Amino acid sequence: MVKYKVSAVEYLNTIPFIYGVNNSEISNQIELFLDFPAECARKLLKDEVDIALVPVSILKKNPEFNIISDFCIGSEGKVDTVCLYSEIPLEEIEEIYLDYQSRTSVELLKVLCREYWKISPEFKDSEKGFEDKIIGRTAALIIGDRAFSANKKYQYVYDLPEIWKEMTGLSFVFACWISNKNIDKNFLSEFNFALKFGLSEIDKSVEIEKHNFPHCKNPNDYLNNKISYILDKKKIEGMKLFLSKII
């Protein structure tokens, strides 16, 4: 019997979570949707789902929402899949396309431009295919699995969480499991157990799903060493500082 509707991100970095949910008893209690981050946020905001792995920037305007898990999509530094790409150095960039799939990374880029790089480019909304517009003085923020290909294509690649770490000394949290309502405590316990189980089987989940992510040459290294899944005190501190900087 379906108890809750859940939206999760359909990126390589979430396959341990998906594996854990799909291979636990809790799978019978949820209806699972796979979306890109901004769509996960939209569904939660529109009350189309009860729980979602959503960009943490959503908490800035919706403080009544609750983080319901000790697990997240985070980074201790360089992550390879949240980057600003350009053919020219930062100080020469005039406009930046903002990835339509992102919310938190868009806000992170704006914070870094304003407080760290001290540049004021024109930010432009994007749609599918915007990656092809990176030329001359036009740069773009690209997140997720599409970044694996972009990392090899452009001369200038600025890894945003790596630069956040340089600026603040803190970890960064991109997305948390968040609910827009009170969730049954027993369900939450089972849900978190399923997520923990998935993280204990990262290599197995990669073996099953790696054919779906051909552009990542070493998915095991990416998931085990670039993505950090535990929502610990350092990440919470970094998240609070980031939210305080969003205008």
pLDDT digits (tens, 9 = 90+) for 22-80: 999 999 999 999 999 999 999 999 999 999 999 999 999 898 999 999 999 999 999 99
The architecture that CATH gives domain 82-168 is 3-Layer(aba) Sandwich (3.40)
Distance of CA 80 to the CA centre of its chain: 12
For residues 113 and 238, what is the distance between their CA atoms, to the nearest angstrom? Answer: 18
CA distances from 232 to 58, 71, 126, 147 (A): 19, 8, 33, 26
CATH number of this structure's domain 4-76+171-245: 3.40.190.10
pLDDT digits (tens, 9 = 90+) for 126-167: 999 999 999 999 999 999 999 999 998 999 999 999 999 999
Q: Where are the domains of the chain?
A: 4-76+171-245, 82-168
Find, among 27, 95, 91, 62, the residue nearest to 176 by Cα: 62
Total-model pTM? 0.94
8 A C-beta contact, residue 71 and residue 200: no
Same fold, 4-76+171-245 and 82-168: yes
